[in-house]
Amino acid sequence: MSNSKQRVLNAVNHKKYDKIPIDFWSTKETDDKLLRHFGLNNRTQLLDKFDVDIVFIEGPEYIGPALKQYPDRSSNDIWGVRRKTCYTGEAEKKQSYKTVVNSPLRDAKTVDEVLSYANWPSPEDYDYSVIRQQCADVGDRAVFFMGDRLNRIAQLKPAMYLRSMEQILMDSALNPDIFKAIIDKVSSFYNEYLTKILTAAEGMIDVVVTGDDFGTQNGLIISKQMWREYLYPGFKKFIDISHSFDIPVMHHTCGGIYEIIDDMIEAGLDVLNPLQPNTFGMDFEKIKSEFGDRICFHGGISLQTNLPFGSPEDVKAEVKETLAALGKDTGYIACTAHNLQADVPVENILALFEAYRQYCCDI
């Protein structure tokens, strides 16, 4: 019987596995709810409870200049983007998120204004020495590194925060020099940041996860042609850096991104997450048939339908259908299409993992 690390690496490398490996994505509020339900003390105990095969390490520790705090309890992130914690839902369904208060480069008119921006972060603002111990503490699970939502190896998402989503998308068509200048600054930071992380890890990270949303519910955020011109080079560079350390890469992108899956594979991507269901073009059986021999898939269980709104039986039926479509032979890691939110009832989360236990062995 394979241990968790080997099971995951077999999936990534399209080798036979003893069962489909399992990952667990959730918000803090969901974790807290589950910890209370089971009478447990920490997330590691939840991973044990659910037989999860993957651990995401925290990564380098920020030691740079103090991030500005404001009287309304908002604060700057590493990019100088001011954010405030907000909440949605009530009682057991209450969920926190950080919303952008301002985009500091929104009104920039020239490339010089972009380049002279005072708050570009430096890779030297981090202590990378903590990474090796984080990896050592994982045990026999696979070690993934992604970073937090506000500092994830990406291009377009940080650009959206800095420039605003509306303005950066307008720039892609009307101000390409400004678009490229912002993307180049962001990419340059992450190229060095990633290299330092992988050097410090000394081979103990099993998979690097980059994260950049290229799709919406109805298709790509920008055209395939623009994606290839503006984002493909940086996307491939992240992969090339990781591959130079012999480490595979998983990319997280929500939305209907069928049109660029072949381009992602051409760039060398090893794992695609999350295969968001109920979005344009994301037919799992077609995608598995067309691309499944060249890339591993991760995710696919909807957070928009059965988990928050259906019955436990509905959840189990969806898991069975999804695993049948994506888990054939090898090349699949079972997981939800994003973090389990606080609006998902505990009984449906239990049904999710019960279905994993039942159907992940049906291969």
Enclosing domain of residue 146: 4-68+107-359
Residue 79 is assigned to a structural domain of this protein = no
Residue 73 is assigned to a structural domain of this protein = no
Task: Give me the phi and psi of 87, to 5 degrees please.
Answer: -135, 150
**Does residue 150 register a pLDDT over 90?**
no
Q: Rounded to whole angstroms, how far apart are CA atoms 165 and 319?
A: 34
Q: How confident is the model at residue 333 (pLDDT cuts 50, 70, 90)?
A: very high
**Does residue 345 register a pLDDT over 50?**
yes
> For residue 72, with 0-12 CB atoms within 10 Å meaning exposed, 13-18 middle and 19 or more buried, which class applies?
exposed
Which of 335, 334, 156 has the alpha carbon at shortest distance from 232?
156
Residue 97 is assigned to a structural domain of this protein = no
pLDDT, one tens digit per residue, over 15-32 is: 999 999 999 999 999 999
Residue 96 is assigned to a structural domain of this protein = no
**CATH assignment at residue 126:** 3.20.20.210
CA terminus-to-terminus distance, the chain: 15
**Does residue 1 register a pLDDT over 60?**
no
Which of 72, 131, 77, 66 has the alpha carbon at shortest distance from 103?
77
**Does residue 74 register a pLDDT over 50?**
yes
Residue 261 is assigned to a structural domain of this protein = yes
Beta bridge partners of 96: 87
Is there a contact between 150 and 61 (Cβ–Cβ < 8 Å)?
no
Instruction: State mean pLDDT over 113-134.
Output: 98
Instruction: State mean pLDDT over 152-162.
Output: 97
Q: Rounded to whole angstroms, how far apart are CA atoms 271 and 164?
A: 29
Residue 24 is assigned to a structural domain of this protein = yes
pLDDT, one tens digit per residue, over 286-319 is: 999 999 999 999 999 999 999 999 999 999 999 9
Residue 324 is assigned to a structural domain of this protein = yes
Residue 87 is assigned to a structural domain of this protein = no
Overall size of the chain counted in residues? 363
Residue 334 DSSP one-character state: B
The share of the chain scoring above pLDDT 90, in percent, equals: 96
Contacts 24+ apart (CB under 8 A), 272-275: 272/296, 272/297, 272/298, 273/209, 273/297, 273/298, 273/299, 273/335, 274/298, 274/299, 274/300, 274/335, 274/336, 274/337, 274/338, 275/299, 275/300, 275/326, 275/337
Cβ-based neighbour number of residue 188 at 10 Å: 14
Q: How confident is the model at residue 339 (pLDDT cuts 50, 70, 90)?
A: very high
Mean pLDDT of the chain: 96
Q: What's residue 363's pLDDT?
A: 67
Q: Which two tokens stand for residue 329?
A: 């032979």
Q: Rounded to whole angstroms, how far apart are CA atoms 187 and 21?
A: 31
Q: How many domains does the chain have?
A: 1
| This prediction's pTM | 0.96
pLDDT, one tens digit per residue, over 176-187 is: 999 999 999 999
Q: Rounded to whole angstroms, how far apart are CA atoms 343 and 212?
A: 24
pLDDT, one tens digit per residue, over 190-207 is: 999 999 999 999 999 999
Q: Rounded to whole angstroms, how far apart are CA atoms 340 and 120?
A: 32
